[in-house]
Each structure stands twice: as C-alpha cells, then as structure tokens.
Amino acid sequence: MNVLDITDLRIILPGSARPVVDGVGLTVAAGETVALVGESGSGKTLTSRSVLGLLPPGARAEGSIRVAGDDVVTMDSARLRALRTSTAAMIFQDPRAAINPLRRIGDFLTEGVVSNKTLKRATATARASELLRAVGVDEGALRRYPGQVSGGMLQRVMIAAALMGDPALLLADEPTTALDVTTQAEVIALLTRLRERFGTGMLFVTHDLDLAAAISDRVYVMYAGRIAETGPATELFARPGHPYTAGLLASTPRLDAPGRRLTAIDGRPPDLRTALTGCPFAPRCPSSTEICGERAPLPTAAPGRPDHRFACHHGRRLAEGSPADA
C-alpha cells in the first residue's frame, strides 16, 4: 500500500513563466525509503513541502497529492493541521530554525499532539520520553532548552518530534546537511532503524547521491521541476538512462576510485522566467540532438526493466551502456 501517491503535481509561483514543479508523479510505499535527488533549485524541497501544504505565500498546487488515501490539495486548514500531527511529519534541514529557542524541548515535542487533542499531556510526555530514548537522547533533555544541546542531538530531537504522532509517512528534507560526517552517519543509521521498527514510509530529499544510494530503495532524479529518471537505487546508479543522472554521478567523488577525475555539468539550470521548449536539459546535454530542443521526451522504460524509467530521447542507449548519439 502506498502512503504517498503524487500524480501530475504542478506548483506555480507568482511571477514565474512556468510551473516550478511540472507534472511530477511519485509514490512511497509503507516501510519504503524513496530518495528525491537533484541540484539546488530543481524543485525537490517544494515537492516535499507540498505534501504537508507548506508552500510559500501565493504558490498554487495543482494535481493530486494523496497521503494515506486523502488528497492534500483539496484539504482545508483544519484537516491539514491534523495531517501534520498524525499521518505525516517532516524533518527539516536546520533543527535550530524549526525549534523555538525560548521553549523547553519537552514543550516542543508535546505541544502539537496536545493542542490537536491527539494525546493527553501525560500520555504525550511519556511518548516523548520513549521516543527520545529510541533516538539515543537522555529523557532529561525534556527539561532543557535547544541552546543547551548540540546540533546533532537537536536533529535527533527533531526526528523524535516527527514520530510523536506515529506517522505513516516521514518527509526528510536534507536532514544531515548541517552535520559533521560522523553525526551524519549516526542519524542515517537511526532513521533506517526507526523505519524498520515503525514501518514508516520515508521520502528522503538530498543532493548527495552516495547518501541516496545508501539509504533508499528507489530514487527519483529531478531536474527543472520534472522527473528526469526513476528506478531502484542500485539499478539507477549502476546504469543511468538520463544524461543528467550520468552527469551527477560523474561529478561525485568516489572512495573506490580516488584518482578519478571529476567532470562538472556545463551550464546552468533553466531560468524560471523563461518557458521551456523540448527537453529542459538539452542546452547542457553533451548528447543533445535536434529533436531534444523541439519536443519534450516522454518517460521510457529501460529494456527488460519496466521499473527503471527515464525522460530522454536517447536514454535507451545510455542505459544499455553505449553512448547516446543522434
């Protein structure tokens, strides 16, 4: 069963010449981790935030976003608040920006479920203590203020807060970017254990391909507000079918190839003030041909691998290991 099912999602911002998220579709099953990867500005964070109705002022969402069967796009504010404290929750990139520094951590953990009458205060406090222990934090942190704990510890508190309502879906928006490598590894291991323990589906937003490969079952690669490629993590990174995915991999350092020269992707993502014609990656693509600038490619399945799909006119040849040419 899917805990998240997004269909033909479009997000329009005031002043933009085109949707910043354009026709996106993705799913997350119960107990599954799905990574959403791409460069900054590709639409990853907006897509994840739209699941909880957390779009910028003036933004408009079209399409369907179903969380545990309920469509978020048509929800009123009361139902959205209930959704955020029970069915779905988000772990933000910077925990210090998401937690009120003037309130104790215990209040932060319990106020949402208490104010929405999901749990009584005593039960909520007991639940908060249990979750703090589960994420490796002493329950004495309930009485502390955010400024009295480290960044890594505060990110663990954020994870505990996200689990307070026993959500079916967890949205993790770059949750380890601000952490050192050791703490990052600890947090990733923690998220993996919690997913296995609670059976929670997770959408993990990141620009780190190695991290996506390590934590996810499936991956969606996003470019210019569209899904460029999707498939099982091991398959997609071993045999990418889109030049953009191949370019991201070529620009990623690898421990198993320390002397390998990194190759940057030339050019810049398309400007939001300009409409798109054809494939949005065509101006930066080394394999671009005339058709790429004229017509947007439809998603195509890799030969013999129907769950690996890419939006590229020449993707089949790339996925089969030969150069994409005209």
- Give 106-151 pLDDT, tens digit per residue: 999 998 888 877 788 999 999 999 999 888 899 899 999 999 998 8
Confidence at residue 183, expressed as pLDDT on a 0 to 100 scale: 76
Q: What pLDDT, in 10s, does the model give residues 36-87?
A: 999 988 999 999 999 999 999 999 999 999 999 999 999 999 899 889 888 9
Confidence at residue 321, expressed as pLDDT on a 0 to 100 scale: 65
Among all chains, which residue has been given the structure tokens 């957390």? 54
**Measured CA distances, 260 to 252, 254, 319 (Å):** 10, 8, 21
Quick check: pTM over 0.85? yes
* Structure confidence at residue 323 as a pLDDT band (50, 70, 90): very low
Q: What pLDDT, in 10s, does the model give residues 204-258?
A: 999 888 889 989 999 999 999 999 999 999 999 989 999 999 999 988 876 666 6
CATH of domain 1-87+167-273: 3.40.50.300
Domain boundaries, given as residue ranges, for the chain: 1-87+167-273, 98-166
Cα distance between residue 318 and residue 326, in whole Å: 12
* Structure confidence at residue 297 as a pLDDT band (50, 70, 90): very high
